[in-house]
Structure 1
Amino acid sequence: MSEARPRSARLVTAAAWLLLLVGLWLWGRELSILPGLPGTGDVSAAGVRLPPAHDPLPAVRPHRVDIPAIGVRAPVVERGLDQDLAIAPPPYDRPGVVGWYAGGTRPGAAGTALFVGHVDTTSDAAVFYDLSTLKPGQKVRVSRADGSLAEFTVEDVQVLQRDDFDAVQAYGERREGRAELRLITCGGTFDRVTASYSSNVVVSAYLTGTGP
């Protein structure tokens, strides 16, 4: 009996994580609006010297994300899961904010923190419109509620086709024990019939520094 309860708890946690990964694959089908957005192919870290990982930080809620390379300086709002078990996207009338899955890891803590944002809405001000143009070595800075800063370095950028989607590859930990970050939006082409994009853009980054 002493081992049954921990094993059961692990199975429940694994099942919940699997449901979230499926939900993340579904996320974005209703993000719609305009076709012709950037984002095809993958960018790896080949030829780029990446810094060593920083030790994970205490778990603190995020409140802003800055991505200097693409001009993003956006507030972070907490999001949960909707009725389809997908991460609820940021409000459509606030295309300039980033959604953080508050049921998961807090950015800077060990594990994978998940940020989602619109690639397009009815305006041209969607926060992750240029997400697919990020390159390995560029920085993502997350300001946290205690005044601390968690600085992440982009490791790679993937554009994953939904017809052959590997959720674990997209959202699972790259290296156990690291503090990692995923920035997720839609990509590829927009199908007006199904009102969905053909791909997901997934930027993977890991903690490499801190600040006050």
Structure 2
Amino acid sequence: MSAEERPGDRAAPDPAPGHGRLLTGVLWAVLLLGLWLWGRDASGDGATGPAPTTGDVAAVGRPPRVPLPPAHDPVAPARPQRVEVPSLGISAAVVARGLDAAGAIDPPPYAMAQSVGWYGAGTQPGARGASLLVGHVDTETRPAVFYGLSAARPGAEVRVVRADGSVARFVVDDVQVFERDRFDARKVYGPRRDGRAELRLITCGGTFDRASGSYTSNVVVSAYLTGLKPS
């Protein structure tokens, strides 16, 4: 990818005025595939307004006194069907997404803004490696599925209901906000620890800059597998 392609950059507007798309990406170390995340047009007189400012989360990271459970060994892969973050009130269907013409993950359309996109060609949640889940922060008129993601805290549970009927349980171990001009795809999307089954929940964050038509940051919630409830 070129140096100009950074999270927060905006492409051409969607056909519907005032609407846009949240483009996200993942860098897979094995495939050497660099994909970038950036916010797209969510402005307009009827817009919900800026996403929550989340720089405090980036500064705090994982509080030193938060006890975290041990990691569970990776499990057999299975496609995700639903993701739940009880502490945030998130419970959403997961839809597989591919790449668009620009080489970035094509997120769910705005008509499905309460759904979460999963990069279907990548790691399946629970399997070894980092699985990527992306969601819109808002639409022109209302908050979207990941509007409250910036409020996630280390120790929070994330559940992924899988196609085989099992439920993969993850725990959040890191919450960061990356400014678009300092976005490091390898750091964000690469595995934090070799051999673990990990999860990334990603959306736009910071504030919405109307001058540039983009959000200033990306919220990245990282989690790792702690258990599996069989079907």
TM-score band by shorter chain is 0.7 to 0.9
Q: What's the offset of the Cα at 1:189?
A: 1.2
How many residues align structurally? 195
TM-score (norm 2): 0.80
| 1:28 is aligned to 2:35 | no
| 1:50 is aligned to 2:64 | no
**Runs of 5+ unmatched residues, structure 1:** 1-12
Normalized per residue, which structure has more helix? 1
**Deviation string, structure 1 residues 48-104 (Cα, Å, up to 9, x no partner):** 010000010101100000110110110000011111111111111111100000111
| 1:72 is aligned to 2:90 | yes
Name the residue aligned to 1:199: 217
Name the residue aligned to 1:40: 55
The aligned amino acid for 2:79 is: R
Name the residue aligned to 1:168: 186
DSSP-derived class of the 1:17 partner? coil
**Runs of 5+ unmatched residues, structure 2:** 1-27
Paired residues of 1:58 and 1:108 also in contact (CA < 8 A) = yes
Paired residues of 1:37 and 1:188 also in contact (CA < 8 A) = yes
1:61-140 superposed matches below 5 A: 61-140=79-158
Paired residues of 2:96 and 2:117 also in contact (CA < 8 A) = yes
Name the residue aligned to 1:147: 165
Paired residues of 1:189 and 1:199 also in contact (CA < 8 A) = yes
Q: What's the offset of the Cα at 1:134?
A: 0.5
| 1:17 is aligned to 2:59 | no
Identity %: 56
Instruction: Output the CA distance in 2 between the equivalents of 1:31 and 1:57.
Output: 38
TM-score (norm 1): 0.87
